[in-house]
């Protein structure tokens, strides 16, 4: 198989080798109008679910590309998988948090309405989730990911508690990142599990009732590092550490 091209675009259904794929809609418009991709250029297509296809542009229009599929391969998911429960950041940093954790390799992203969140999505959850999904898709393209991370619907604290219980019950590790943590992040046996759940608090931090609620079903309250990070960057830093501590990298 030829080496994958640097440019990646997402297409829900990728046809068989030798067939012509049509890239239209927002992806096609971005490729044809913004990137000004021309006939003969190589493009990597992905369905966002692991399938990658090398292709070559055979025709262009104002808002679409026609591409001949040259080869296809399925990228294996990385292990352990990482789900990030992200307390809603302030609006000016909300999508940045999603972009950074997507580029750093998050497999699933869960928006969480924590008690100390400045942002409140109760009346606009659908709009907020859709913005996060678009941000994740754009960041996945930028970082050339075969898998676009799933962005779940808005979760309440009781939903996060249930996630902790499920992950720990399956033998995974759940971690609430907090400066009061007695354990250090690097001391946890991340390389011995198949599933990790990271809980990132809001600007005001996790309150005591949330910490108690997460530790009761088995989450560890853990110190990520020597400095206090913004909620919008903590997940990306933790994912970078996990890349070095596990076989993810």
Q: Please report, for the domain that includes residue 201, its CATH number.
A: 3.40.1280.10
Does the residue 1 lie in any domain? no
- Residues 131, 205 share a domain: yes
Each residue's pLDDT tens digit, 55-112: 999 999 989 999 999 999 999 999 999 999 999 998 889 999 999 999 999 999 999 9
Mean model confidence pLDDT for the chain = 93
Tens digit of each residue's pLDDT (9 = 90 or more) over 97-126: 999 999 999 999 999 999 999 999 988 999
Q: Are 118 and 203 in contact (CB under 8 A)?
A: yes
Domain boundary among 74, 104, 126: 74
Query: How does DSSP classify residue 239?
Result: H
Question: 4 falls in which pLDDT band (50, 70, 90)?
Answer: very low
Specify the range with the lowest mean pLDDT, choosing from 9-13, 31-35, 113-117, 241-245.
31-35
pLDDT at res. 6: 59
Which pLDDT score is estimated for 91?
82
What pLDDT is attached to residue 120? Answer: 92
Question: 196-212 burial by CB neighbour count: b if 16+ within 10 A, else e?
Answer: bbbbbbbbebbeeebbe
pLDDT-derived band at 34 (thresholds 50, 70, 90) equals: confident
Q: Are 48 and 170 found together in one domain?
A: no
Tens digits of residue pLDDT in 130-166? 999 999 999 999 899 999 999 999 999 999 999 999 9
User: 161: which 2 tokens?
Assistant: 């508690």
- 2: exposed, middle or buried (Cβ count in 10 Å: 0-12, 13-18, 19+): exposed
Provide the domain limits for residue 31. Answer: 8-74
Concatenate the DSSP letters of all residues of 50-70 into one string. SEEEEEEEEEEETTEEEEEEE
List alpha helices for the chain, DSSP H.
Answer: 25-29, 91-103, 125-142, 157-169, 208-215, 231-245
| Structural domain count of the chain | 2
Residue 2 lies in a domain: no
Co-location of 57 and 104 in the same domain: no
Stretch 179-195: mean pLDDT:
93
167, 51: one domain: no
CB 108 within 8 A of CB 150: yes
> Do 101 and 224 belong together in one domain?
yes
User: pLDDT confidence of 3, banded at 50, 70, 90?
Assistant: very low
Check whether residue 181 and residue 236 sit in a common domain: yes
The answer on 228 and 138 residing in a single domain is: yes
The residue among 74, 95, 111 that closes a domain is 74
Where a domain ends, among 49, 74, 99? 74
Task: Tell whether 44 and 88 lie within a shared domain.
Answer: no
């Amino acid at each position: 198989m030829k080496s994958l091209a640097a440019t990646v675009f997402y297409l829900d259904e990728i046809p068989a080798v030798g067939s012509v794929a049509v890239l239209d809609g927002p992806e096609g418009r971005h490729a044809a109008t913004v990137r000004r991709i021309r006939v003969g250029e190589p493009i990597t297509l992905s369905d966002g679910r692991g399938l990658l296809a090398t292709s070559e542009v055979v025709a262009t229009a104002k808002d679409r590309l026609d591409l001949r599929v040259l080869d296809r391969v399925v990228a294996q998911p990385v292990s352990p998988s990482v789900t990030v429960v992200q307390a809603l950041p302030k609006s000016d940093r909300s999508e940045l948090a999603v972009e950074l954790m997507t580029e750093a390799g998050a497999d699933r992203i869960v928006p969480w309405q924590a008690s100390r969140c400045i942002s409140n999505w109760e009346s606009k959850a659908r709009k907020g989730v859709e913005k996060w999904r678009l941000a994740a898709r754009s960041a996945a393209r930028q970082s050339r990911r075969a898998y676009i991370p799933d962005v779940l619907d808005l979760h309440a604290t009781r939903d996060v508690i249930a996630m902790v219980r499920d992950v720990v019950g399956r033998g995974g590790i759940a971690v609430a990142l907090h400066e009061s943590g007695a354990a250090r992040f690097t001391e946890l046996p991340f390389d011995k599990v198949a599933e990790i759940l990271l809980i990132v608090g809001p600007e005001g931090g996790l309150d005591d009732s949330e910490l108690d609620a997460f530790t009761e079903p088995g989450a560890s309250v853990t110190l990520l590092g020597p400095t206090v990070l913004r909620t919008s960057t903590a997940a990306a830093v933790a994912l970078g550490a996990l890349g070095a501590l596990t076989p993810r990298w």
